Structure 1
Amino acid sequence: MDETGGECVYRDKWYEVECAENVLVDILSRLPIKSILVCKSVCKHWRRLISSQVFIDLQLLWSRKNSVYIVYPFMDVMMELFFVKKSGEIAKRMNFPYCDNFSPITIICSFDGLLCCINYPWKVDSGRIVDDETDLEIRICNPITRKALLIPRGSPSKEKPSVGVAFGPKINDYKIFRFFFPKRIPLAKHQSRVNRLQCEVYSSISGYWSVIGRVPYCPMRSSHSPLGSNHVFVNGKIHWFIASDEDPMIPGLILTVDIEETFGTIDLPADVTEHSYLVDLKGCLSLVAVYDEDEIMNIWTLEDKNEPKWELKCSDNIPFSNDECVEFVVARENDIFLITSNHYYIFHSDHRVWRELELSNIFETHSPVAFTYTESLLSCGGRIDPMMEYTSERDRGWRF
């Protein structure tokens, strides 16, 4: 009798929790994404709650507190994603779900659980299948929900386009900026290559491209990521390097653009190097520069957004030799994650402590790249058109 009565009390209490939707939403939103997806099949009531924008937004707030690194072996045949904790422990690994029948894909940015991936589409040239380097296929992907959105093709370009993504203040609000050289505009004798450069933008709100027109600068292409350029989104703006006039391998300026499509430039501190990276360090635009000859690393931060002024946050000796190239750099809170030719390190910028991660045996020599990553349930297509997402691998039809 007591046991039966206890079950009744338990069910009554849980019924009260279910009726208080704000309490139930708060409980479910703290679960891992994998568990949340399972919970959607419990009943229609739970499915409705979990599918609501309020729940998706709340889950993202909790998830941001537990971000990890997502490491991707660039152009690896296996196409695997590795979710790495800052301790170096691999929390999860999964097959990249958007590479079937595609030319090699690379990730260029990560924000709130969404990845922007690009690849050159294939074309037939003289009977051979080759990459079409004058065009790009762009996908916004959510690897946890295994959904993706193929962005419509942009304008034809004579040369390799460059891409960056800006994220608006609202959840799922983003714009993709694409720099290209129009094919239909002939080059006059007095017209320089830069004068032909144009930019167009895709909006997740409208769902189509619009041409901005000519722009004076082209983002510098990274030598370590031939499909993309080193850029970072911080403080409401995308930031790219612009190559210096003296050496195209060394940054000379920073190009910026915000969600309102306003362009600008920022001067760099003196003596930047070829191994320089822009990162988001605790909400500040920061520059990590490795000096091979001196075997030191400098970290600069841009403290004043209105009157840009660089401050040297710290300088420290690097724990690797100068013949070992830095391949990629990303930041998470106060940590700097560096990928070199042979090693993986995390540098704590406040305490100036280096820690080597035991990842070399896993990634071998695949030249991986890394980004900070937060699990989310966000729709790849934004708020207005979530139906145009598709799933991958075996279920590859459009999901309505």
Structure 2
Amino acid sequence: MGETGDGCAHCITDKWYEVEYVENVLANILSRLPVKSLLACKSVCKHWCQLISSQAFIDLQLLWSKNHSIYIVYPYMDMRMTLYLMKDGDEITKRITFPYCGNLSPLTIICSFDGLLCCINYTWKVDSGMIVEDVTDLEIRICNPVTRKALLLPKGSTSEEKPSIGVAFGPQINEYKIFRFFCAKRISLAKRQSRANRRQCEVYSSSTGSWSVIGRVPYCPMQSSHSPLGSNHVFVNGKIYWLIASDEDHMTAGSILTVDIEENFGTIDLPKEVTEHSYLVDLEGCLSLVAVYDEDEIVNIWILEDKDKPKWELKCSDPVPFSNEECVEFVVARENEIFFITSNHYYIYDLDQRFWRELDLSDTSEKKFPVAVAYTESLLSCDGRMDPQTEDISNRTSI
């Protein structure tokens, strides 16, 4: 019996050894593990560490993970910056306490793409002897919450107004550009420049690791008091889209500003008159406009059919399950569903079934989640390259 048992064990070991060194088999098995488990697996042996660290494996893991995206929800202006990962329905599967990286100002997630989060927090200045938040200057970080890495970008140009940003990704995996709109300071009192002439844009490239000033731009993203992010933007199919304020009402969008990875700017007309509660989202790989009409208590969902020759299609116009007294605080999409966060409730709208489902998040320690992003775990580096020049924040503590 002893010999038989030893023989079986030896046979199993040999078979596993064969599987282990068939790269595509082992890689497919490991790529389905959570990133936290993969980081632990790197210490199993040198072979596993080399495999998991390779760009081919990182790409494979990301491809699988994209088909299993989740939501990150978190309380805006939360002093502890706790991220809640919501996988299926209203189930909170994980909580991540995200460090501040040395700034007392709360982080705000601007966007999420391929497992990387772009976060901002405003700096501090002394005003009349008091330390106050400086909204004309901000720190920008690219973070990977599961690998606990963060990259602090170099400072951009000085601005006299609150800057707006947007992030474009690609065409290569882990490549990105950050567009920052700012209001340049006056050269001198003798040479007064209008605010429109001082509105400029600069871009940070992950390939160079530095900012370059594009110069004056005809339009800037609108600043919305209804959005915790200030300006609503989305990256879809190689382009960033922002809402532009109308000439009549700066609280309502009048058109859409676009820019691609090659830094070509353009504008797109809106399908019709929209409201203050209008959001741009990525709906199944297409740019979508979600507009909530308070008086009629309906939501219109428009899809941009052709990005080169813009043509809007009204996908649906349905009643909302909340009253017009309830403010829509945030909207985000994932696959074929749209997540609505109001002042008192959380709803998922299934676009295929045209069905509303209210989420029950009352069991969580935090009661308000004004911000949410679609998220997929990845092993991507924050700096856009394979060399580890990022800041390890795993040992930092939250305030």
TM-score (norm 1): 0.95
Q: CA deviation at 1:184?
A: 4.8
Aligned mate of 1:271, from 270, 273, 298: 273
Per the alignment, residue 207 of structure 2 pairs with 205
Tell me how far apart the structure 1 counterparts of residues 22 and 323 of structure 2 sit (CA, whole Å): 60
**SS state at 1:185 partner:** coil
Tell me how far apart the structure 2 counterparts of residues 90 and 181 of structure 1 sit (CA, whole Å): 41
Contact 1:242 1:255 in 2 (8 A): yes
Q: Against the structure 1 CA distance between its residues 216 and 344, is the aligned structure 2 distance closer, same or farther, given a 3 Å change threshold?
A: same
Per the alignment, residue 150 of structure 1 pairs with 152
Per the alignment, residue 377 of structure 1 pairs with 379
The answer to whether the aligner puts 1:332 opposite 2:334 as a matched pair is: yes
Contact 1:69 1:86 in 2 (8 A): no
Equivalenced residue count is 395
Per the alignment, residue 57 of structure 2 pairs with 55
Per the alignment, residue 26 of structure 2 pairs with 24
Per the alignment, residue 394 of structure 1 pairs with 395
Q: CA deviation at 1:77?
A: 2.1
The answer to whether the aligner puts 1:193 opposite 2:192 as a matched pair is: no
Amino acid of the structure 2 residue aligned with 1:323: E
Contact 1:194 1:218 in 2 (8 A): no
Amino acid of the structure 2 residue aligned with 1:390: E
Aligned pairs (5 A) from 1:17-166: 17-98=19-100, 100-166=102-168
Q: Against the structure 1 CA distance between its residues 121 and 190, is the aligned structure 2 distance closer, same or farther, given a 3 Å change threshold?
A: closer
Q: CA deviation at 1:393?
A: 5.5
Tell me how far apart the structure 1 counterparts of residues 228 and 14 of structure 2 sit (CA, whole Å): 60
Contact 2:62 2:377 in 1 (8 A): yes
Aligned mate of 2:174, from 158, 172, 175: 172
Tell me how far apart the structure 1 counterparts of residues 278 and 136 of structure 2 sit (CA, whole Å): 27
Contact 2:186 2:192 in 1 (8 A): no
Per the alignment, residue 236 of structure 1 pairs with 238
Stretches of structure 2 lacking an aligned partner (at least 5 in a row): none
Per the alignment, residue 357 of structure 1 pairs with 359
Q: CA deviation at 1:378?
A: 0.3
**SS state at 1:66 partner:** coil
Contact 2:125 2:134 in 1 (8 A): yes
Amino acid of the structure 2 residue aligned with 1:308: P
Contact 2:275 2:292 in 1 (8 A): yes
Aligned pairs (5 A) from 1:239-318: 239-318=241-320
Query: Which segment drifts farther, 237-246 or 40-49?
Result: 40-49
Identity of aligned residues (%): 73
**SS state at 1:135 partner:** strand
Tell me how far apart the structure 1 counterparts of residues 190 and 218 of structure 2 sit (CA, whole Å): 17
Tell me how far apart the structure 1 counterparts of residues 242 and 188 of structure 2 sit (CA, whole Å): 27
Tell me how far apart the structure 2 counterparts of residues 263 and 209 of structure 1 sit (CA, whole Å): 18
**SS state at 2:137 partner:** coil
Contact 1:118 1:227 in 2 (8 A): no
Query: Which segment drifts farther, 352-361 or 183-192?
Result: 183-192
Q: Against the structure 1 CA distance between its residues 281 and 86, is the aligned structure 2 distance closer, same or farther, given a 3 Å change threshold?
A: farther
Q: CA deviation at 1:190?
A: 7.9
Contact 2:99 2:396 in 1 (8 A): no
Tell me how far apart the structure 2 counterparts of residues 64 and 342 of structure 1 sit (CA, whole Å): 30
**SS state at 2:135 partner:** coil
Structure 1, residues 174-233: CA drift from partner, whole Å, max 9, x if none? Answer: 000001111253477884311210100000001000010100111011213455310000
Q: Against the structure 1 CA distance between its residues 393 and 14, is the aligned structure 2 distance closer, same or farther, given a 3 Å change threshold?
A: closer
Q: CA deviation at 1:129?
A: 1.5
Contact 1:72 1:369 in 2 (8 A): yes
Contact 1:63 1:376 in 2 (8 A): yes
Structure 1, residues 30-65: CA drift from partner, whole Å, max 9, x if none? Answer: 111121111011111111111111111100001001
Tell me how far apart the structure 2 counterparts of residues 226 and 24 of structure 1 sit (CA, whole Å): 43
Q: Against the structure 1 CA distance between its residues 225 and 69, is the aligned structure 2 distance closer, same or farther, given a 3 Å change threshold?
A: same
Tell me how far apart the structure 2 counterparts of residues 34 and 226 of structure 1 sit (CA, whole Å): 30
Query: Which segment drifts farther, 53-62 or 191-200?
Result: 191-200
Contact 2:228 2:370 in 1 (8 A): no
Structure 1, residues 126-178: CA drift from partner, whole Å, max 9, x if none? Answer: 33211122111000000000100000000111111111000012111000000
Contact 1:202 1:208 in 2 (8 A): yes
Q: Against the structure 1 CA distance between its residues 36 and 364, is the aligned structure 2 distance closer, same or farther, given a 3 Å change threshold?
A: closer
Stretches of structure 1 lacking an aligned partner (at least 5 in a row): none
Contact 2:280 2:289 in 1 (8 A): yes
**SS state at 1:26 partner:** helix
Amino acid of the structure 1 residue aligned with 2:258: T
Q: CA deviation at 1:281?
A: 0.6
Contact 1:137 1:151 in 2 (8 A): yes
Tell me how far apart the structure 1 counterparts of residues 19 and 366 of structure 2 sit (CA, whole Å): 50
Structure 1, residues 315-360: CA drift from partner, whole Å, max 9, x if none? Answer: 1100011000100000011100000000000001111100000024
Tell me how far apart the structure 1 counterparts of residues 152 and 102 of structure 2 sit (CA, whole Å): 14
Contact 2:347 2:356 in 1 (8 A): yes
Tell me how far apart the structure 2 counterparts of residues 113 and 187 of structure 1 sit (CA, whole Å): 46
Q: Against the structure 1 CA distance between its residues 129 and 201, is the aligned structure 2 distance closer, same or farther, given a 3 Å change threshold?
A: same
